Structures are given as C-alpha cells and as structure tokens.
Amino acid sequence: MTTMRVVKDLMLGLGARGGTLVVKNGHVIDPASAVDAAHDVLIVDGVVRDIGPRLAAPEQATVVDATGKIVCPGFIDIHVHLREPGFEYKETIATGTRAAAAGGFTAVCCMANTHPVNDNRSITDYILARAKTEGVVRVYPIGAVTRNLKGEELSELAELAEAGCVGYSDDGKPVMNAGLYRRAMEYTLPFGAPIISHAEDAHLSTGGAMNEGVVSTELGIAGAPAAAEDIMVARDIVLAELTGAHVHLAHLSTAGSVRLVRDAKARGLRVTAEAAPHHLLLTEDAVRTWDPNAKMNPPLRTKRDTEALLEGLADGTIDCVATDHAPHALSEKEGEFDRAAFGIVGLETAVAVLLDRLVRPGRLPLKTLVARLTADPARLLNLPLGSLVPGRPGDVTILDLHRELTIDPARFHSRSRNTPFGGWTVTGGPWMTIVNGHVISSEGGFAPLRTKGATPPSELPRPNLPPGQGSAGKAGARTESM
Amino acid sequence: MNRPAPRRREKAQVLDEAALDRALTRIAHEILEKNSGASNLAFVGIRTRGVTLAHRLAAKIEKIDGTSLPVGALDITLYRDDLDMRGAPVVRGTDIPFSIKDKTVVLVDDVLYTGRTIRAALDALIDLGRPRMIQLAIFIDRGHRELPIRPDYVGKNLPTSRREVVAVRMKEHDGEDRVVIEEPEDA
Amino acid sequence: MAWTRKDLLAMRDLEPGEILTLVDTAASLEEIASRDIKKVPALRGKTIVNLFYEPSTRTRTSFEIAGKWLSADVINFTASASSTTKGETFVDTAKNIEAMSPDVVVVRHSASGAAELLARELDCSIVNAGDGAHEHPTQALLDLLTIREKKRHFEGLQVAIVGDITHSRVARSNIHAMRKLGVTVTVAGPPTLIPPFIGELGVKVAYRLEEAIRDVDVIMMLRLQHERMAAGLIPSVREYSRYWGLSLDKLQKHARPDVLIMHPGPVNRGVELSPEVADSHYSVILDQVSKGVAVRMAVLFLLAGSRSSEGQVRA
C-alpha cells in the first residue's frame, strides 16, 4: 500500500528552500545531457547541485534509495486541462497537479478553455496564484489565441506572454479563419511562445463523435474523417511557412498528419508536434463497447494511424508525448455516446501505459520515451526544465519498470475518473515524483485532499514517520522530521 | 433459467407396438360409443405427441365408421402457468383449421400427469370459440394430479413415482411405437 | 434454437439460429390476430414499459398491441426532449423506471447505443426499438417474416436497400440479419447517403437505381428525411425523387415481375415511392405492418416468458 508522505513546503513558485535530497543507487537517464548510467543526484535548495557515481550524502539530507529504479528529469506534460477557474467540479489546480505528481509529472501546461477563458492577464494571474498556493507541481498556463476562443479577435497576446503564458492555443476549438490565425502567428513571433494548433476542420468534422470508418458505419455514429485533421495540419504548416512562426500541432491522431509534419520538418519549417497515449495505444475498435471513455477529440483512429504515430514518435517527427488530460464529471461521461463530452483524463495513466505497451515489448526505446517526456517538451516551450545537469531545478521522476499494478480509476487523485484504461494491468510506472527537491508523491501515494478544491498546503497532513516504518522504509526514503 | 435435461435410462417397457395399437383402437370405439357415432366430433391434439395421437384416432374412426373427422393442433405454450421454470419456451403455433363452435371436441394428449397442461389447453381451446362439449382422451394416465381433472378415455393407467418419466414413443417422431418408463441415471 | 438472451439489442449480435427462432415464433403467433378473442395469457402479470424518446406512434403502438395481446400490462413512457432538459439524464430516467420493477423495457432513442447502455445499467430485459442510426432489430425481423412468407426461404435471395443508408438503422439491422441468412444485399443511393466502408459489412453498393433493382427479389425503399437536404447531402428533394424515387415505369422496366416492394414506413409518397407503386400488387408494405405485431409478440414472449421471477417458483 501507499504511504502518505509529503512534503513540508509546496510553495514551489516561491522558490521554497527545501534542504538537501539525494537520490542514490538509481540508473539515471537524462537525454538532454546524454547520461545513461548508474548515478546519484544531489539536490540542494531545490536545484540540482551534482550528478555522478556514488555521491556522498550530506548530513541531514533526505536520502532516496532508488536501487533498481530509473531516475529521470521530471516529466513534463504540455497539454493538460486543469479546468480551474470555472469547471472546478471536473478538476482543480489542487487535484489536477496531484494527479500529475501521482502520474510522474513535475510540470504541466494548462489549456485556456477555462471559464472565463484564459484570454487575458487577470485569468493567467489567477491560475498562477492558485498554482502557487495549491499546486504541487509546476503549472505553466497557455493563453487563448482568440478572445473567448471564438476565433474572431485576437486575445491580448503580448500581455499574456508577459503574465507567464508559455504558448497560445484555442485548444478544443480550431481557429477556422486562416487570415486571423496568420496574424496571431505573426504577432507572437517576438514572444518565443508557439501557437499550439488543435487541427480540425470544423466543417469536415461536423457532428462527428468518433473516427469516420468501419466502426462508425457499423455503429451508426456520425464520424469525423481523418481528413478533417490532415487538412488543418496542412494549412497550419503552410501558415508556419508563410509567417516563420513556430507552430506546434497538438494531439496528432492520423497517419496523414504525421506524414505532413515529417515533410515540413524535412523542409526546415518550425513545426513541432505531440501525440497522446490514447492515440498511440487505442483504435476506433474501443468504441464498439459504446463506452463514452472511448470518446475524445481528435477521435481514436485505426491501427494504421497508431503505427504511424509510433513511428513518428520514435523518429522524432513527433516531438513529445502529451496527455490531453481532459477531466469530465461522471454525469458527462456515462450516458449516450453521441451526447457524452469529448476527452479523457491521462495524467495518472500515461507513463504506466506507455511503459507497459510501448517500452516493455520493445516497440519504443526507454531513452526515447524519456526524451519525449523531458528534454523535448521543455525545448518546445522554452521551459527551463527537462534535464538533471547541475543548476537545473530539482525535479525528478523515478520509474519502477517492474512494478505491476492494475489501473483503478477509483483511486485517481484527479477529481474525474474518465479513462479508457481502467482495469488494465500494467508493468512499470512512476515510482516517485520529486519537485524542487521535495518528494511529492511515491508509488502513486499522496496526501489526501480533505475538502473539495482548496486545501492550503499548510494544512496538508505532515509526515512524521520514523525511518523504517511501513512501506516508507521499504521504499527507502527518509523524510526530514520537522 | 435453462436447466440441462438430466440423462435418463429406460426402466421398464409398458406397452409394445401391438399393445399401443390395441389401446388406440379401444379408445376409438369408446369415443364412438359415448357420442353415439361420429357426427359433430372433432379432434384437437396437444402439441406434439397429442397431435399425432389425434391423427391416429381419427384414422381409426374413419376405418370403423367411415367418417373423416377434422384434426387440429393446439399449442399451449402461451397458456402455461410454469413458463418461468421451463427455460427457453418454444412456440410452435396453434393450427385448428375449422371452427370448434358447437362441436364436441375430443382433446388428445399422450400423458396425463399433474393436469396443468390440460388446464392450459382448456383455456386455450375456449379462447378460440365455444365448443358444445370438450372430452379428454389420454394415452397414459400416470397419476399425481394437482388439479381436478379427469380423462374421459384412457389408454392405460400407470402408477408411477414422481421421479420417473413416462415416454410415449411414436413412429412419426421416435421411429418406434412403444411406451416406456424412464428414470434419472444418477439414481 | 433455444432463446437464452436477456435482451434484444442488435441483429449483429445474433446467431442465424436465433434469428430463425424469432421468425418462427412470430410466424406461430400470427394466427392470434385472426381470433375473435385476441388475447393469450402468456405474459399475465408481466409489466412492459415502452420508453420512447423519439416520437414513433407506429412502433410504439405495435409494441403496445403485442404486449396487450399477450396479457402483459403495458405502460407508455414518452419522454419528450423537454423532460431531459429538466436535468434528468437518460440513465436517471431509466433507473427510475426500473425501480417500478418492469420485466421488459422497450426503448426508442435517437442516440446510437442507447439500448446497449440501458442493458448495461438495468437488470430487466431490454428491447431495442430503434437507436439512432444503429439498429432496429424488430423492423428487420418483421421484414424477414414478410419476405419468408412470400419467398419461402432466405438463402440465395437478392435484396436491394435503396435510399439514405447512412442514417438508417433499418438498413443496418437488415444488412446484418440478411447476411447471416445467406441473402445477397445491395445498398443503393446517392454517394452522400452511403456511409464509408459499407462494403465491410458484406454488401454491394450501387449508385444507380436501375442497376440496383435489376434481378433482385426484394426492393426495400427507405424514407428520405427532409433534413438531409438542409445538411447539404442532396441538392433537392425533387432531384432525389427524380433519380432515386421508384416509379411504376422504372419498376416494370428494370425489376423482376415477382419483385416485392417493402418500406419501413411512413412512406413519403411521391418522394421515394410513387403512389401507384406503394399501392401496387408488388407492395407488401401493409403485410409488414401486420407482421410487426407478431414479431413484437414473439420478442416480448421470448424475453419475458422464460425469465424467472420471484413468487412463481413451483416444486
């Protein structure tokens, strides 16, 4: 069983002083610095101080014994819906960041389709303030490209960048007006934050609740064709070429769009892309059960598409894995398939299912997966994360490749349970998540939230476990007493 | 609620082919005697073997009396009171191609046991019209009645225990004319 | 073949033997319609709820008569769109109905998969009376019963289904059922109304009416919904009718003299069928309607008649 083992100071954004922590005896994979060796990692005051074989643990340091484990830079998910403000019944920054930590992520980028929409500085400020007081991992907001996601007028893009937005997206809705989109790309050129495209031609996908294909024909569900995505990926690549902007294509789902991105990259355009675990692992066949948890946008496609996505992920056409974590309340995901909300949660399942279904059978090298979750996403959004070289923030994700578990949505830390992976038995998963030099979560275990939403960190249960008690001892971590 | 039929073995033969035929002949004579001839008579057999027996009786009467009597088939599945216990029911349909109104209907079945089948058959028959009279011809009466039902014509009275099964085998269905008692194999 | 299922959800699920059991049972029950007293006690004490989320007087009435002829208590629950906008979800409503202990819930809903959803959520038997563009199994069964009565068999028959295949649950149920029984099916209509990959369901596709109806034993014409024009799937009803409507002239010129014309109703006279075809000797549209009751009796009886319920156990 898991322990409640947390963390005395969660005020990450304030650069809390966290003392000293050493991760010992693990195998470090840090693609950014090409380290793939038995190393220890020393973190002092939230910053990586040293990395190398058999580091001496300073006195009073928290020691994490990572024998047999894989030690990586903290994983980054650049596509998450934290739902706050406005949809706190689905997720909050408190619950969403706990889900992230439990799933091995130390940083998330949250999409702008909140209510109100994150299309102006006051919302960005609000999100960052909540993240500071309630978040347990780093939160980077993404601002809306257009006001209220309407696709009609530009948001105040400069001020959003200044407030801390690391990218722009109307995610969930495509910007159908190519002229406006072009202006957004041009206007944001100086800010170093990409435009993130939800590539979907809304006219082609009208009414579509799943992929248009054999299964939609059989089930009598209106389908959205792969072409709806391909056309917009093509358009956005052309606009990237026109403007010179960095365009990042969110959640690719089709073989066609992988081909288009590969071609764009070969031509030297500033085009990048991500893929979600469900698009890599599931196909439209999952809809045959009528489970609304098989409904998301873009939809699950065919085996040919999953294979193309995996190939793209392996060869770097697809730069990173992002979950598109999209929490919805049960009432939005339990009824008629056509009427159910689009989207699934992903933070707490992504690492485990990818390790089990891609890495373990040898379909994707572990090192590649780690790169796609660390250095690559950091590079796309210019985040100062994703590596364990000295001087970087002390964010660490430790994997246990041998741990076997059955995914049980009832035990998610997310406020929502909408996953198609429930009941999967997987081998391998996140073992410990360290943010800013603090152990935030281990073995999926966590400080429970006592009330809905806001539990100030100062009220979180304090750990007071003597060394060696329970699984805390077995896991090998000692927490400083205070 | 599908119960697999328990395997059964034959315990004793009750009637052979010749005895079966003699019993039918006797019933045919009794029917003619009781009704003073064959006028206004009709046979209605209960599916499945009751129908076959009804046809045989009609043939006998035609031989004796020269009258060709109409024969109908009654499916009582929709009238049973024990559907819940019988697993998947099979409806084979009622096929009575003549009016039973004001007729003397001789209802025919192979085995009379609890009487519930006959109760259902009476209901089914009366829903189809108002016969002048219904008489009951049964080939084997094995006792254990649960309802106040008494046959007018009986091929053979056969005391049985409840765990036994009486099987009336007929050439049309089983390739032989014979009546046997069976019992469960686990006995 | 013994019927052992709890629900009737989709023809796609059924074995050929199960389909024939349903058709045979329905055929056996047809004579009840000709009796003076159209009532048998088979489902006395059973409760059937017709839960209809789409207006459909014909199908609902057909189920209602079927239930009543079997002596069941039949309750109609017609949920308008407004009752769901009050906030109660489909599943909530269904659970409320189940709390009243029905034996069978007959459900009609505009969402594909609605019947499967209910079957998952409720313990009682579920009959799919049409879910979205997915399936309408009792319609396919009554079509099969009609065809068998006229043609005596299924194996080797050729059937053309003409019209809006994309949005038709009738087409899907018939395609699955007929394929399982050895019938060759051709679907035909303007390409915008033929769903992609329909060939994967084992049917042939024709894009000309004349080609589709040549040499077939049965022509099944589907109703054209007028909203298809608004959705840009056809330019006009007039044009549709001109190229895809079945007139007596086209029929006599291209089809076999013994062809059957079927339609799941209600017919748009003058759109997919000219009035003289609808009323011709080729047409078996009214046979379909009357067989609908027998089919629904068979379905209700097989589902409710054989399921155990408390308090009726006898030694």
Residue B27 pLDDT: 97
Active site residue A9: no
Please list every residue in chain B whose beta carbon sits closer than 8 Å to the beta carbon of residue C304.
none
Q: Which residues of A touch C200 (CB under 8 A)?
A: 214, 217-218
Write out the two tokens for A413.
């830390």
| C264 and C146 both lie in a single domain | yes
**C15, C28, C309: best to mutate for the B interface, most B CBs within 10 A:** C28
Decide: A374 and A32 in contact? Cβ < 8 Å. yes
Given a contact cutoff of 8 angstroms between Cβ atoms, the answer to whether C300 and C70 are in contact is: yes
Q: Which amino acid is at C261?
A: I
Residues in chain C closer than 8 A to B84 (CB atoms): 306-309, 312-313
Are residues C165 and C282 part of one domain? yes
Which alpha helices (H) appear in A196-254, and where do they start and end?
Answer: 214-219, 226-243
Split into its structural domains, chain C has a count of 2
For chain C, say whether B114 makes contact (Cβ under 8 Å): no
| Option in C2, C35, C306 nearest B83 (CB) | C306
Q: Strands, DSSP E only, in A58-203?
A: 62-65, 70-73, 75-80, 105-110, 138-141, 168-169, 195-197
- The predicted pLDDT at position A96 comes to 97
Closest chain B C-alpha to C308 CA, distance in angstroms: 5
B contacts of C45 (beta carbons < 8 Å): none
Judged by CB atoms closer than 8 Å, whether chains meet at A336 and C172 is answered as no
* Tokens (6 digits) for C261: 């014309």
Mean pLDDT for chain A?
A: 89
Instruction: Give C1 to chain B, closest Cα distance, Å.
Output: 9
Q: Is C192 on the interface with A (CB under 8 A)?
A: no
Q: Which residues of A touch C109 (CB under 8 A)?
A: 336
**Residue C26 sits in the same domain as residue C99:** yes
Which of B1, B2, B74, B78 to probe by mutation at the C interface, max C CB count within 10 Å? B78
Question: Which of A208, A205, A151 shows the shortest CA–CA distance to A174?
Answer: A151
Residue C234 neighbours by CB distance under 10 Å: 22
| pLDDT value of residue A482 | 33
Residues of C within 8 A of A218 (CB-CB) are 12, 172, 200-201
Quick one: pLDDT at residue A365? Answer: 98
DSSP annotation string for A238-250: HHHHHH---EEE-
Question: Same domain for C182 and C249?
Answer: yes
Supply the pLDDT for residue C311.
33
Element (H, E) at A432: strand A425-435
Cβ–Cβ gap B85/C313 under 8 Å: yes
Torsions phi, psi for C96 (to 5 deg): -60, -40
C141 and C21 co-located in one domain:
no
Distance CA A201, CA A173 (A): 10
* Same domain for C232 and C275: yes
pLDDT for C57 equals 87
Based on the fold, state whether residues C256 and C168 are members of the same structural domain.
Answer: yes
Q: Which of C20, C29, C44 to mutate to test the interface with B (most CBs of B within 10 A)?
A: C29
Q: Look at C113 and A334 and tell me if their CB atoms are within 8 Å.
A: no
Chain B contact for C5, CB < 8 A? no
Find the CB nearest C305 among B89, B123, B128. B89
| A with C: touching (≥3 Cβ pairs within 8 Å) | yes
pLDDT along chain B (187 residues), means of 10: 67 94 96 94 95 97 95 92 64 91 96 95 93 96 95 95 93 94 82
Would you say residue C124 lies in a domain?
yes
For residues C213 and C105, membership in a common domain is answered with no
C28 and B CB contact within 8 Å: yes
B144 and C CB contact within 8 Å: no
Check C2 against B93: CB less than 8 A apart.
Answer: no
Contact B88 C3 (CB under 8 A): yes
Percentage with pLDDT > 90 across chain A: 85
How high is the pLDDT of residue A178? 97
Whether A219 and C90 lie within 8 Å, measured CB to CB: no
φ, ψ for residue B13 (rounded to 5)?
-90, 135
Mean pLDDT computed over A442-448: 62
Residue of A nearest to C89 (CA): A335
- Residue B89: per-residue pLDDT: 72
* CATH code of the domain made up of B16-184: 3.40.50.2020
Average pLDDT in the A359-388 region? 97
B83 touches chain C (CB under 8 A): yes
> Which residue segment(s) compose the domain that C218 sits in?
137-289
Side-chain-side CA neighbours of C263 within 13 Å: the count stands at 26
Please list, in sequence order, all residues whose beta carbon lies within 8 angstroms of the beta carbon of residue C293, skipping any fewer than 6 positions away. C33, C62, C65, C66, C69
Q: Which chain C residues have a beta carbon less than 8 Å from that of B129?
A: 36
B131-171, pLDDT tens digit by residue?
999 999 999 999 999 999 999 999 999 999 999 999 999 99
C157 in the same domain as C120: no
Ordered domains of chain A (ranges, CATH): 73-380 (3.20.20.140)
Residue A384 above 70 pLDDT?
yes
Q: Are residues C167 and C251 in the same domain?
A: yes
Q: Pick from B79, B89, B94: which is nearest to C306 by CB?
A: B89
Question: How are beta strands C104-109 and C158-162 bridged, if at all?
Answer: unpaired
Which chain A residue has the Cα nearest residue C198?
Answer: A217
Read off the CATH number of the domain in which C236 is found. 3.40.50.1370
Residues from A in contact with C at Cβ < 8 Å? 212-214, 216-223, 225, 290, 331, 334-339
Q: Give the closest of B82, B95, B127 to C37, CB-based.
A: B127
Q: What's the rounded Cα separation, in Å, for the pair A39 and A23?
A: 9
Regions of chain C short of the pLDDT cut 70 = 80-87, 306-315
Q: Is B5 on the interface with C (CB under 8 A)?
A: no
Instruction: Report the pLDDT value the prediction gives residue C86, as an integer from 0 to 100.
Output: 60
Residue-by-residue DSSP string for A347-402: TTTHHHHHIIIIITTTSS-HHHHHHHHTHHHHHHTT-S-S--STTSB--EEEEEEE
Q: Does C135 touch chain A (CB under 8 A)?
A: yes
Q: What is the pTM of this model?
A: 0.86
Chain C CB contacts of A335 under 8 Å are 89-91, 111, 117
Rama region for A93: left / alpha / beta (φ>0; ψ in -120 to 50; rest): alpha
Between B and C, how many residue pairs show a Cβ–Cβ distance under 8 A? 71
Does C203 contact chain A (CB < 8 Å)? no
Cβ neighbour number for residue C243 with a 10 Å cutoff: 14
Residue A453 has pLDDT above 50, yes or no: no
* Residues C111 and C180 occupy one common structural domain: no
8 Å CB contact between A249 and A265: no
- Confidence class for position A480, pLDDT limits 50, 70, 90: very low
pLDDT of residue C83: 55
Do C22 and C128 reside in the same domain of the chain? yes
CA angle A314, A319, A321 (to 5 degrees): 85
Asked if C93 is an interface residue toward chain A (Cβ–Cβ < 8 A), one would say no
pLDDT at A478 over 60: no
Distance (Å, whole) CA A359 – CA A365 = 6
Q: Give C-chain residues touching B92 at CB under 8 angstroms.
A: 28
Q: How many CB pairs under 8 A join A and C?
A: 63
Per the listing, tokens 């969402």 go with C111
pLDDT at residue A119 greater than cutoff 70: yes
Query: A–B contact (≥3 CB pairs within 8 Å)?
Result: no
Report yes or no: C69 at the A interface, CB cutoff 8 Å.
Answer: no
Exactly one of A201, A236, A319, A324 is catalytic; name it.
Answer: A324
> CB distance from C303 to chain B under 8 Å?
no
Q: Which residues of C touch A288 (CB under 8 A)?
A: none
- Residue-wise DSSP of A292-338: GGG--SSPP--HHHHHHHHHHHHHTSS-EE---B----HHHHSS-TT
Residue C310 in any domain: the answer is: no
State the complex-level ipTM: 0.91
Task: State whether C113 and A337 contact (CB < 8 Å).
Answer: yes
Q: How distant is the Cα of C119 from the closest Cα of chain B, in angstroms?
A: 18
Chain C hits for B87, CB-CB cut-off 8 Å, are 2, 4, 306
The answer to whether C134 faces chain A, any CB pair under 8 Å, is yes
